[in-house]
Amino acid sequence: MYKFGPVQKKILIALMGSVALGFSRSPWQYYRTLRLMRSEWRKIDQRNFNRSLHRLSDEKLLKEKRLPDGSFRLVLTTRGKREAKILSLIGSSINFKRPKRWDGKWRLVLFDIPEKNRLFRDILREHLRTLKFLKLQHSVFVSPHPFEKPIQELVSLYSAQPYVRVVTATNIDSEPALKRHFFRR
């Protein structure tokens, strides 16, 4: 996996977003999604767009399918779908709403990821930092917010379930210090 530029991210998410349009439950939701996608497309410079398409194609994330009428269709490869899911997961987890009231439970993420999966380890740590988890130990992070679902999605996306545990606890020995860190006014 390499770093995507802003145009490449938009292309991958938009291609994945077209699937979301098909699953829209209401016309209002469909047109809202379509308007958002259209406004983002207008901001893209055509040269950047072409360059990004070629790079995504070179990286085997996109492939061109020639149609009988001479036109072509862009299709995400399996790897491209995976990368688009990661990008959409990043976007959705950053915007994840925190509840107004704390439910009194701590969420701990513990992991022991082998060196051969170093890339996923770095991605997981970055997600945890983005979600404002506090590092308790080298591979142990804690948060009072219910972020179990985005973390589980990320772990399953990388097939790393044997290496990561998400624990919900009601009591931690360093609770006063954690409360000061997370709930300072």
pLDDT at 93: 44
Q: How far apart are CA 108 and CA 144, in angstroms?
A: 9
Q: How far apart are CA 64 and CA 165, in angstroms?
A: 40
For residue 107, what is the enclosing H or E element?
strand 106-111
* Whole-number Cα distances in Å, 171 to 36, 136, 148, 155, 174: 43, 14, 17, 25, 9
pLDDT at 94: 45
> Going by CATH, does the domain composed of 106-183 fall within 3.30.70.240?
yes
Residue numbers of the chain with a pLDDT score lower than 50: 1, 92-94
pLDDT at 136: 92
| CB contact at 8 A, 94 and 132 | no
Query: In terms of pTM, does the model score above 0.75?
Result: no
Tokens encoding 64: 């061109």
DSSP assignment string, 12-60: HHHHHHHHHHHT-SSHHHHHHHHHHHHHHHHTS-HHHHHHHHHHHHHTT
Q: Strands 140-143, 72-76: parallel, antiparallel or unpaired by DSSP?
A: unpaired
Please name the fold of domain 6-94. Arc Repressor Mutant, subunit A (1.10.10)
Average pLDDT along the chain: 79
Radius of gyration of the chain (CA): 20
Half-sphere exposure of 15 (CA within 13 A, CB side): 24
pLDDT tens digits, 16-41: 666 556 666 677 777 777 777 777 66
DSSP assignment string, 118-150: HHHHHHHHHHHHHTTPEEEETTEEEESS--HHH
pLDDT at 62: 82
3-state secondary structure of 103: coil
Domain ranges of the chain: 6-94, 106-183
| CB contact at 8 A, 92 and 160 | no
pLDDT at 101: 83
Q: How many CB atoms lie within 10 A of CB 88?
A: 16
